[in-house]
Structure 1
Amino acid sequence: MTFPSPLTGVVPPVCTPLTPEREVDVRSLLRLVDHLVAGGVHGLFVLGSTSEAAYLTDRQRALVVETVAGHLGGRLPLLAGAIDMTTPRVLDHVRAVAAAGADAVVVTAPFYTRTHPAEIARHYRLVAAASPVPVLAYDIPVAVHSKLPAELVLELAADGVLAGLKDSSGDMTGFRQVLTGLQAHAGASGFSVLTGSETVVDAALAMGADGAVPGLANVDPHGYVRLYRLCRAGDQERARAEQDRLCALFGLVGVGAPARMGGSSSGLGAFKAALHLRGIIDCPATAEPQVPLSPEEVERVGKFLAAAGLL
């Protein structure tokens, strides 16, 4: 399909259901895609952090993109992560996901070694020059240890290098600088600014964001689509109430005991447990070496779902 300019709305970063043997569960993935489409989302993003892309083999990554692209059949824009340490490796992923059916790619700054902003800019320019599909920047310093400076994003937007930004930095000041800076860059028209936050979507949209990429939308796509529509309609009171409900539901990411697991194990484990409890995926397994939730922690996830009216 033609990639929209700008991309707007709710674009969930799709979880990757796994079998107990840690292979991609294609049947569950198809059910999850149907669940999200039925929720009214405006696009899908595979092979991001919530998709556990860092844990998947290249074979598994290709299977995810081919499965989702084939099932969507062009009904919605499909973004795919092309995430790796260096430019040559990213370019390999770009070619693979574009060939598998992705409408756009989402790319982080290089990582592993410390990277200068000039190198980050060169990275994006090289990727965009070789990519057959639009390139969005993924600002996620917790994973790559580099924050994308607002002035760099604006420069690349104005030059037509980037088609958009997925901001998962948690830096609302920098996020606002990008939004306000775009107004002074006529060459950046059509550039999409998307928040990766679950908990401040209403505030991001009020600042001028085009949409959101919330992991919790896997669990409650209807809620995030409802929130987006309320914000666009200017119904601030009901939008705030919906955001507050989603913030309470987001508490499920903290069910895992921090003494025995990290935040990724707890958060992704909770998303998958919720999807399993809702009957959408067959198995809540996360990729190795993440630690699985205990039965007691899964029970707590169920309580969050019940409180949000989802069970």
Structure 2
Amino acid sequence: VISTETERVVEHIRQAEDIGVDAVVATAPFYALQGVREIRRHFEILRESTDLPIWAYDIPACVHWKLPNDLVMDLGKAGVLSGVKDSSGDDVGFRFLSRLNAEAGHPLQLLTGHEVVVDGAYLSGADGCVPGLGNVDPDGYVRQWKAALAKDWETVRKEQDRLADLMTIVQVKDVQGFGAGIGAFKTALQLLGVFESNEMPRPVAALSGENVEHVRRVLQKVGLL
């Protein structure tokens, strides 16, 4: 239910409720950048506006704010937030958040979106993962999760090594950011026969030529193709 300011997020929540979702995920407000006080109030207003569980989406690359651990813990203990999806890439911060969450009795469900170090997140106390790369290889992340539940950490590590190799599909030439990451995911899904096209939203160009062949080679290397 992401949007540029709080009232629009509330509108999106209303739409989500009409659809019948089980929970919503919201970032801090962006564009008109706020301070910690306003971010706290933003999530409190969302809580006052719905009975649905709310997950905070921590993605500073897009929002330009790293949600402070003390803030999300306060909101979790107060029942404002049910959990956090951490896509910050800050593994040290995630480890500290996991420790604070455990000490507080685990009020927050913690999910990592950091595809290449999910094994470390599980060792830190993550409750699960929401990886973009999971669109390309959901089975790999399911195997890893089941191994983590069984405390089979060697299998967790080996699966992560293979997924790390798969993540190199994003290392394409002369393409950056969204075009490289989501572009590679879409191209992989096209090569796997899941998508008919790797088309991207304008103005982003779809991967082509040697970049498509790079994605193909990586899929072959990890045994997906």
Both proteins in one fold, TM over 0.5 = yes
Higher relative contact order (CA 8 A, sep 6+): 1
* Per-residue CA distance 1:191-241 (angstroms, 9 max, x = gap): 210001110111100111000011111010110100111122121222211
Q: Distance in 2 between matches of 1:182 and 1:220?
A: 29
8 A Cα contact 1:198 1:215, kept in partner: yes
State the 1:263 CA deviation: 1.6
Instruction: Specify the code of the residue in structure 1 equivalent to 2:166.
Output: L
Q: Whole-Å Cα distance in 2 between the matches of residues 283 and 98 of structure 1? A: 31
- Count of aligned positions: 225
Partner Cα separation in structure 1 for residue 83 and residue 188 of structure 2: 30
1:289 equivalenced with 2:206 (yes/no): no
Offset at residue 172 of structure 1 (A): 1.4
Q: How far apart are 1:291 and its partner, in Å?
A: 2.1
Could you report, residue by residue, the CA deviation over 1:158-216 in whole angstroms, capped at 9, with x for unpaired residues? 00000100000111121122111112324x53x21000111011110011100001111
Does residue 136 of structure 2 align to residue 219 of structure 1?
yes
Q: Where does structure 1 differ by over 4 angstroms across 4 or more consecutive aligned residues? A: none
Q: Give the alignment's TM-score, normalised by structure 2.
A: 0.96
Using the alignment, how far apart are the partners of 2:102 and 2:160 within structure 1?
Answer: 27
Show CA shifts across 1:61-116 (max 9, x none).
Answer: xxxxxxxxxxxxxxxxxxxxx00110001111111122112211100001112211
Does 1:155 pair with 2:69? no
Q: Over aligned residue pairs, what C-alpha RMSD do you find?
A: 1.1
What one-letter code is carried by the residue in structure 2 that aligns with 1:237? E
1:3 corresponds to: none
How has the CA–CA distance of structure 1 residues 212 and 227 changed in structure 2, closer, same or farther, with 3 Å as cutoff?
same
- Indicate yes or no: 2:85 matched with 1:166: yes
Q: Is the 1:98–1:132 contact (alpha carbons within 8 Å) kept by the matching residues of 2?
A: no
Gaps of 5+ in 2: none
Partner of residue 280 from structure 1, selected from 194, 208, 218? 194
Partner of 2:124: 207
Say which SS state the counterpart of residue 111 (structure 2) adopts. strand
Higher share in helix:
2
Superposed CA deviations along residues 29-73 of structure 1, whole A, max 9, x for unmatched, are: xxxxxxxxxxxxxxxxxxxxxxxxxxxxxxxxxxxxxxxxxxxxx
Percentage of pairs with the same residue: 46
1:283 deviates by 1.3
Which residue does the alignment assign to 1:15?
none
| TM-score between the two structures when normalised by the length of structure 1 | 0.70
1:150 maps to a residue whose letter is N
**Counterpart-to-counterpart distance in 2, 1:302 and 1:253:** 12
Give the Cα separation in 2 of the matches to 1:225 and 1:152: 31
Q: What CA distance in whole angstroms lies between the structure 1 residues aligned with 2:101 and 2:55?
A: 15
> Whole-Å Cα distance in 2 between the matches of residues 199 and 183 of structure 1?
24
Q: Give the corresponding residue for 1:61.
A: none
Paired residues of 1:269 and 1:286 also in contact (CA < 8 A): yes
